[in-house]
Homo-oligomer: A and B are copies of this chain.
Amino acid sequence: MNAPDKLQDLLSLTREPFPASRKVYAEGSEGVRVPMREIALTNGERVTVYDTSGPYTDPLATIDAKLGLPSVRTGWIEARGDTETYAGRNRVALDDGGKHEETARIEALRAQAAALQRTPRRAKAGGNVTQMHYARRGIVTPEMEYVAIRENGKREWMREYLGDAEREARLAGNAKGARIPEIYTPEFVRDEVARGRAIIPANINHPEVEPMAIGRNFGVKINANIGNSAVTSSIEEEVEKLVWAIRWGADNVMDLSTGRNIHTTRDWIVRNSPVPIGTVPIYQALEKVGGIAEDLTWAIYRDTLIEQAEQGVDYFTIHAGVRLPFIHLTANRRTGIVSRGGSILAKWCITHHKENFLYTHFEEICEIMKAYDVSFSLGDGLRPGSASDANDAAQFAELKTLGELTQVAWKHDVQTMIEGPGHVPMHLIQANMDEQIKHCHEAPFYTLGPLTIDIAPGYDHIASAIGAAMIGWMGTAMLCYVTPKEHLGLPDRDDVKQGIIAYKIAAHAADIAKGHPGARARDDAMSKARFEFRWHDQFNLGLDPDTARDYHDETLPKDSSKEAHFCSMCGPKFCSMKITQDVRDYAAAKGLSEEQALADVEQGMAAKSAEFKAQGGELYIPITPVQA
């Protein structure tokens, strides 16, 4: 079959709504309509959760990858009246790399991709269309209102799960310096964006995006990397991988394609993505110079930035901190430079013995960013590639530079986040967060893991979820996922899912620890369903209902057992939950108050220790051995 049909076919696999779930919308002003997923429980409750899957899980939406997604933001962008459409740069064959394919299949996709493209839009001459620019002028954009509604979620249902004063005090989060509001207001979002403490990645040429925020005082977000490479995989697979990734909860997706047809692949991905798309433009620039790092020029790179800004990429990873004077600090490392972009620029710098051209042209880059509202993701090209290289001079020298560049970007009102490691043992993670906050002025931190150990190939999604959860709690705003294939190969569809679920766990654990007001209720709903043996609700409230149900069925396949008041682990006689009901009746019968209860405990203690003394119990434990 021809390529687009193959894609349509692939997508149909990922469009099924989640079990017992439907798409609902929370309305705001100016046509702001925020999608959420509502899960209907068997006890009549309705639980609403954050939804990154876009129109794909809405059975009412007609989706045709050849037409792309409907626009969410065009009206808002036009209403601001500060942009203009224009012809855009001429598309050239080289955009798909020195080795672009000419096969019929690719030509078909290329033609389709060209048809997909919207007329490019940019700021009017001398204008600035970044969300930060509006925020600093006191303007609350529809994007900001959208984000506020989205972060709040539907709080109504959560009341059911509010505990008494004792529980609320006991479980109160530890925000570690973050200032998380009880309710997100559009004005709060504006203020965070104005301060640079949060970004809303939303290129004016990506109106299909459903606005979301990345910031320390918002829920922790996760990013999934996709992209074909010189070695393997196809355009259709990458687009389907995007839809698959957001189905499981990716808040952002980075297209890290490095191979052929790189421009065409990106057209397909951006036009079909409801989440912000990030790229590393140096990868495409390198394809254009046949993969020879030393042949890179500012002109080629600059043209690539405009090309991608016109396509609608929402943020660029730019390794402007890989400065000539830092490079040799990596010479004695266990694993040198492990960032692709970092190593390409290091190669360029030492070959020409010149300062990194991304650093020297940084202000010119800012001019491009603010004309399209592309956000910076300042790359950590010198991040450690092993625990052994964590927190070293090269890493922190670059981090300080990224802090300086953040201030340059902010001078232009360009939204900015900072990329972080990588490989960091648990006891060195806090220092990463502290240094980043100190030197980067609270600009959002966006880390890859970090992996806490090096000896788990095949399980690095777990080794890194540990570090990710911890640094997320400490204040990192977005966690870049790691799949089981890290260090070994390219992730397939299932690897992408495994990586995303591991990172949803890390991000949620961080939100709970920070005390994000919308986080805990879903866990409480799950625990209540557990206690009441509502098996279907347990499956449906989970991050992956299909897998939970399959696992349960392996032991107790019968449908009846999904109503059963016991589970496979203990069998009927041992059911502790069942016994707990007796405990409740007992406590109710005894009618004990909390005071009496504690009194009982004290009394019990007293009696006990008296008993010890009576027995002449020797409580002192000799430290120096008694010679026999």
Question: Are A425 and B505 in touch, CB under 8 angstroms?
Answer: no
Task: Find A488's partner among B230, B293, B344, B548 (CB 8 Å cutoff).
Answer: B548
A542 with B457, Cβ < 8 A, contacts A465-B466, A625-B135 known: yes
CB–CB A527/B605 < 8 A = no
User: Closest CB-CB distance, A129 to chain B, in whole Å?
Assistant: 13
Closest 3 CB pairs of A and B: A336-B580, A489-B555, A230-B571
Given A462-B502, A489-B556, are A387 and B137 also a contact pair (CB < 8 Å)? no
Residues from chain B with Cβ under 8 Å of A337 in the complex: 576, 579-580, 583
Taken together, the copies of this chain in the complex come to: 2
A43 is an interface residue with CB less than 8 A from chain B: no
A234 at the interface (CB under 8 A from B): no
Given contacts A231-B555, A325-B604, whether A582 and B194 have CB atoms under 8 Å apart is no
Is the CB–CB distance between A583 and B346 below 8 Å?
A: yes
Contact with B along A446-479 (1 / 0, CB 8 A): 0000001111111101110110011001000000
DSSP majority for the A interface?
helix
Alpha-carbon separation in the docked complex, A325 to B601 (Å): 6
Q: Is A438 part of the contact surface with B, judged by Cβ < 8 Å? A: no
B509 touches A466 (CB 8 A): yes
**Interface flag for A492 (CB, 8 Å):** yes
A578 nearest in chain B by CB position: B343
Given A408-B617, A551-B484, A601-B326, CB of A336 within 8 Å of CB of B455: no
Asked if residues B490 and A339 are in contact (CB atoms below 8 Å), the reply is no
A577: chain B residues at CB < 8 Å are 335-336, 338
Alpha-carbon distance A463/B338, docked complex (angstroms) = 29
Pick out which of these stretches binds chain B: A16-24, A60-68, A391-399.
A391-399
Q: State whether the Cβ of A487 lies closer than 8 Å to any Cβ in chain B.
A: yes
Q: Which residues of B contact A26 (CB under 8 A)?
A: none
Cβ–Cβ contact B138 & A576, under 8 A? no
Return 7 A-B CB contacts under 8 Å, by A number.
A137-B628, A139-B628, A171-B428, A231-B571, A330-B583, A363-B615, A454-B523
Asked whether B171 lies within 8 Å of A587 as measured between CB atoms, the reply is no
Q: Measured between alpha carbons, how far is A386 from B580 in the docked complex, in Å?
A: 14
Among B336, B522, B605, B625, the residue within 8 A (CB) of A584 is B336
CB pair B568–A229 under 8 Å, yes or no, is yes
Task: Report whether A259 and B343 are in contact in the complex, using a CB–CB cutoff of 8 Å.
Answer: no
A520 to B452, CA, bound (A): 11
A21 smallest CB distance to B (angstroms) = 14
Answer whether residue A195 sits at the interface, using C-beta atoms and an 8 A cutoff: yes
Q: Which residues of B contact A485 (CB under 8 A)?
A: 551, 554-555
The answer to whether A552 has its CB under 8 Å from any CB of chain B is yes
Residues of chain B with a CB closer than 8 A to A484's CB: 551
Q: Are B139 and A488 in contact (CB under 8 A)?
A: no
Contact B334 A527 (CB under 8 A): yes
A551-596 residues at the B interface, CB under 8 angstroms: 551-552, 554-556, 567-577, 579-584, 586-588, 590, 592, 594
A543 part of interface (Cβ distance < 8 Å): yes
Q: Is the CB of A576 within 8 A of B229?
A: no
Q: B452 near A512 (CB under 8 angstroms)?
A: yes
Identify which of residues 495-523 in chain A touch chain B, using a CB-to-CB cut-off of 8 Å.
501-502, 504-506, 508-510, 512-515, 520, 522-523
Closest chain-B Cβ to A583's Cβ sits at a distance in Å of 6
Contact at A194–B490, with CB atoms within 8 Å? no
Contacting residues of chain A (179-197) with chain B, CB-CB under 8 angstroms: 190-191, 194-196
Residues in B neighbouring A455, C-beta threshold 8 A: 508, 522-523, 526, 541-543
In the bound complex, CA of A543 to CA of B460 (Å): 11
Chain B hits for A392, CB < 8 A = 170
On whether the beta carbons of B441 and A336 are closer than 8 Å, the reply is no
Flag A306-331 by CB within 8 Å of B: 1 or 0 each.
00000000000000000111111111
Smallest CB–CB gap between A533 and chain B, Å? 11
Chain B residues within 8 Å of A513, by CB: 425-427, 452
Q: Is A81 an interface residue (CB 8 A)?
A: no
- Given A551-B488, A555-B231, A509:B388 Cβ within 8 A: no
B-contact 0/1 string along A351-371, CB 8 Å cutoff = 000000000000100000000
**Cβ of A609 < 8 Å from any Cβ of B?**
yes
Task: Determine whether the beta carbon of A407 is less than 8 Å from that of B621.
Answer: yes
CA distance A530 to B457 in the complex (A): 11
**Interface residue? A125 (CB, 8 A):** no
Contacts of A627 in B (CB 8 A): 137-138
Q: Return A301 CB to nearest CB of chain B, in Å.
A: 16
Residues of chain B contacted by A459 (CB below 8 angstroms): 501-502, 505, 543-544, 547
